[in-house]
Amino acid sequence: MDQVCEIATRIARYDLSVLVLGESGSGKELLARAIHYASPRAPRAFVMENCAAMSETLLESELFGHKRGSFTGAYEDHVGLFQRADGGTVFLDEIGDTSQGFQVKLLRVLQEGEVRPVGATRAIPVNVRVIAATHRNLEDDVRAGRFRQDLYYRLTGMTLSMPPLRERSGDTPLIADALLQQASRELGKPATRFTPGAVAAMMAYPWPGNIRELRNEIYRALALTDGGEVDAHAFSSKVLQGQPGTTTLNGRHTPGHAGIPQPGTLQERLDASWRASANSAPSWSARRSPRRSMRLAMARDATWPTAPMRSTTARCCSRAACGMGSRIWRCRSTCPRSRKMPTAPGSPTRAGRAIRSRG
């Protein structure tokens, strides 16, 4: 990180375009602001735009401006951000998520030093410094044809890579102290410092969300703190355990089951959870009583309150089945052929044959 700051200080005085690479929340915008305020353009405006937050048409209008009547809803002239930042710096965040059409227009602005608002007949000269940022690997996007090569080389007058917070854990206490003072002012709660336990917990956690996640944890901890010191107990359980994404149940650590995927939809995780519990249970062949089969099926229904029903080609007493991703069969309450006793998971057992014999 010291090397990044040193390079940024050296290039700040020169009008070179800068491309900042780094994960989301790693501080790319802060680095861009530092470059602007350390440059001769510091007295002029610093404007920024998130290129991924708008469509191509709206982004073009926001950056380059438009004339009245140029499109539906254009009731008056609009001055674009490039004109507002004349003499200053324009920061384009998430430049890697722009379309090919917008990239062509941006390339012309950078080459010619002038913008033409949407619907205008003449171009307007502008003098701005462009700093772009992205979390994507633009070199891979250039090779794949998703990003224009000529624009890439126009933006990379200098390339800086912001390391994630987990790779510079020594900066975590300093950043945390600054965020604590900011949170104290905004929340109106006095806070002096972190306890040694809180500092140790912050340095042990990898912070996959980087500074943005650290900020949320500090604000949360300060809101739950009564005294002037923020202790580690005010952090969330995942920070205390040092494992991102780990859940707790009633204060106890509950890591994911080896057979249950942690990502995925709720439906997929419920499917996997039931299959894992069924595989770890005693053999069904050893306990085939109809009463036990009914209890197990009812217990499964209770743990799956929102599971939809869909028909399959599997056979049971009503020739319909629950297709929940596993061969778990049961009769519906409207079954016309049975006494409404569900069968056990797995293949049709003695309980299922007993039900069909009563139909």
The domain that holds 124 is classified in CATH as: 3.40.50.300
Q: Are residues 157 and 296 in the same domain?
A: no
Q: Are residues 242 and 178 in the same domain?
A: yes
Q: Which residue, among 178, 234, 243, 176, has the nearest Cα to 204 in the 3D structure?
A: 243
Q: Are residues 201 and 321 in the same domain?
A: no
What is the Cα–Cα distance from 87 to 16, expressed in whole angstroms?
A: 14
H/E stretch holding 221 reads helix 210-223
| Sheet containing strand 46-50, strands side by side | 46-50, 89-93, 129-134, 18-21, 158-161
Of 66-80, 82-96, 228-242, 244-258, give the lowest mean pLDDT range.
244-258
Q: Please report which confidence band the pLDDT of residue 275 belongs to, taking 50, 70 and 90 as the band edges.
A: low
Q: Are residues 8 and 151 in the same domain?
A: yes
Is residue 130 within 8 Å of residue 90, measured between CB atoms?
yes
**pLDDT averaged over the chain?**
77
Q: Are residues 159 and 56 in the same domain?
A: yes
Q: Are residues 7 and 154 in the same domain?
A: yes
Q: Are residues 143 and 210 in the same domain?
A: no
Of 84-88, 172-176, 188-192, 278-282, give the lowest mean pLDDT range.
278-282
Q: Is residue 335 a part of any domain in this protein?
A: yes
Q: Are residues 213 and 100 in the same domain?
A: no
Domain range for 135: 2-163
Q: Are residues 85 and 136 in the same domain?
A: yes
Q: What is the pLDDT of residue 271?
A: 65
pLDDT at 270 over 90: no
Q: Please report which confidence band the pLDDT of residue 343 belongs to, taking 50, 70 and 90 as the band edges.
A: very low
Q: Is residue 244 a part of any domain in this protein?
A: yes
pTM here?
0.64
Owner of token pair 């140029």: 70
Q: Are residues 179 and 152 in the same domain?
A: no
Domains identified in the chain, total number: 3
Q: Please report which confidence band the pLDDT of residue 307 belongs to, taking 50, 70 and 90 as the band edges.
A: very low
- What integer is the mean pLDDT of 209-221? 93
What is the Cα–Cα distance from 195 to 221, expressed in whole angstroms?
A: 12
pLDDT at 283 over 50: no
**E runs forming strands in 122-258:** 124-125, 129-134, 158-161, 193-194, 229-230, 247-249, 252-254
**E runs forming strands in the chain:** 18-21, 46-50, 89-93, 114-115, 124-125, 129-134, 158-161, 193-194, 229-230, 247-249, 252-254
